[in-house]
Amino acid sequence: MTWHACHQTEEGSMCHPSDAEAWRHFDKSYPDFAVEPRNVRLALCTDGFAPHGQYGRTYSCWPVILTPYNFPPGMCMKPEYMFLTMVILAGPIQNVVLIFT
């Protein structure tokens, strides 16, 4: 879980989110959190789709997935390390339903 703190990359290249400017900004903003490399860093991912395949329909579905960024690049985006945390459903009259898993 400490790979992000130990890996070395060339200056100017990005192979992991820990190489990004946003990661360094977060570390500067929250030094108490950043000092411990075993603290878990999570990504919140979502992507909406129309469950019936037609975007003209009024139904939509938005899965919300949580992914830990402490792993190496080859593990970060593997399905076994992605956790479905909730599904947001929107119906024809725009009532929004949250389903927590």
CA angle 34, 40, 46 (to 5 degrees): 115
Residue pair 17/43 in contact (Cβ under 8 Å)? The answer is yes
Domain of residue 59, residue span: 3-100
In tens digits, the chain (101 residues) has pLDDT values of 777 777 777 777 777 888 888 888 999 999 999 899 889 889 888 887 766 666 556 677 888 999 998 888 888 889 999 999 998 887 766 677 777 87
Residue pair 33/5 in contact (Cβ under 8 Å)? The answer is no
pLDDT at 32: 95
Taking the whole predicted model, whether its pTM rises above 0.75 is answered as no
| Strand ranges of the sheet holding 60-68, from the earlier edge strand across to the other edge | 42-46, 60-68, 83-90, 96-100
Domain count for the chain: 1
